[in-house]
Amino acid sequence: MDEVRILEIKQSVFASNDREADRLRNELKEKGVFLLNLMSSPGSGKTTTLRRTIEALKDEMKIGVMEADIDSDVDARSIAKTGVKAIQLHTGGMCHLDAGMTRQGLEGLGTDDVELTILENVGNLVCPAEFDTGAVKNAMILSVPEGDDKPLKYPLMFSICDVVLINKIDVMPYFDFDLEKCREYIRMRNPAAKVIPICARTGEGIGEWAEWLRSKVRAWRG
């Protein structure tokens, strides 16, 4: 379980990332593969949330995970322990993934036997928001210790996400975090975004999140 495959992905050469992203999404649709792009700051709990998500859904659908990081393979090793297919993508210093890089990852992972693929993007609230990866849905995590004002400071990330998971709600008593204010700031950026408070460590809220994701995967696969 300590060995995971590491794929060094290369910067893309496509002139139009948007066109390449649409092309990738169409191919995924044909193959019946749902791709979720999961983004957040460093340390907001993406990998722990992912492990909980896998626990909740792995008995009903085949899952594959791509862990993107600049360096290290700690996340892919952690995910591989859940028993699902996992690959570590190294971006060679790049701060985000675009559609071409995501395609390299999908080819490395292999999606023939996968229904739900989750890309854990590089921990970064800025650059990943600027590049369509070809994912069907974008999700982000904002953790309580980061503060309720983040939608004001990182507008693009909040505006392109279909769902915002507010993680680490168990430590809310120790931080100055106003959940209602945060919801309001998110609404300012993106009235359509679904907001789900969770605690990945304890599992709180994971049921609602898994239900959201399940319904999107079903709708996509028809």
The reply to whether 145 sits near a copy of itself by the rule CB under 8 A is: yes
The reply to whether 69 sits near a copy of itself by the rule CB under 8 A is: yes
Q: Which stretch binds a copy of itself (CB under 8 A): 5-13, 52-60, 145-153, 192-200?
A: 145-153
Q: Smallest distance from the beta carbon of 64 to a copy of itself, in angstroms?
A: 21
- Tell me the C-alpha distance between 219 and 192, whole Å: 18
The reply to whether 124 sits near a copy of itself by the rule CB under 8 A is: yes
The reply to whether 82 sits near a copy of itself by the rule CB under 8 A is: no
Task: Please pick, from the candidates 6, 7, 95, 195, the single residue that binds a copy of itself as defined by CB under 8 A.
Answer: 95
What is the H or E stretch that residue 140 is in?
strand 137-143
Q: Smallest distance from the beta carbon of 2 to a copy of itself, in angstroms?
A: 15
- Tell me the C-alpha distance between 3 and 128, whole Å: 27
The reply to whether 152 sits near a copy of itself by the rule CB under 8 A is: yes
Helix (H, G, I), strand (E, B) or coil at 101: helix
In 30-66, which positions are buried (b, 16+ CB within 10 angstroms) versus exposed (e)?
A: eeebbbbbbbbbeebbbbbbbbbbbebbeeeebbbbb
Residue closest to 125 by CA, chosen among 87, 95, 147: 95
Interacting residues with a copy of itself (CB under 8 A): 41-44, 69-72, 74-75, 93, 95, 122-127, 130, 143, 145-147, 149-150, 152-156, 168, 170-171, 174-175
